[in-house]
């Protein structure tokens, strides 16, 4: 599954890296966040801030890096039929 990542800024007062994840049809599938050092929860890891479609309503997993996050998303999407969503 081909995924595209777009870095964005979020107006939350924290110095965080955030990316939107799109599928090949340009649908937003996920928002991934890499918290700043001030964040005590998932410092140093990426995590699923929000998911849509096949990743909507699931627990928020953490990932060592964006490659791990993309691999996980690709596996979830491999079983997803958007026409039934």
**Contact of 51 with 64, CB cutoff 8 Å:** no
* pLDDT tens track for 16-72: 889 999 988 899 999 999 887 766 666 678 989 999 988 887 788 899 999 999 999
45: CB partners within 8 A, 6+ apart: 34, 35, 62, 63, 64
Q: Would you say residue 84 has pLDDT above 60?
A: no
In this prediction, residues 70-82 reach a mean pLDDT of 78
pTM passes above 0.85? no
Residue 9 confidence (pLDDT): 85
């Amino acid at each position: 599954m081909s995924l595209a990542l777009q870095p964005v800024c979020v107006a939350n007062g924290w110095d965080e890296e955030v990316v939107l994840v799109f599928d090949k049809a340009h649908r937003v599938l996920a928002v991934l966040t890499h918290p700043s050092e001030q964040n005590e929860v998932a410092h140093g890891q990426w995590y699923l801030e929000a998911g849509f479609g096949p990743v909507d309503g699931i627990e928020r997993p953490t990932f060592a890096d964006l490659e791990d996050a993309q691999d996980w998303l690709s596996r979830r999407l491999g079983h997803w039929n958007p026409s039934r969503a």
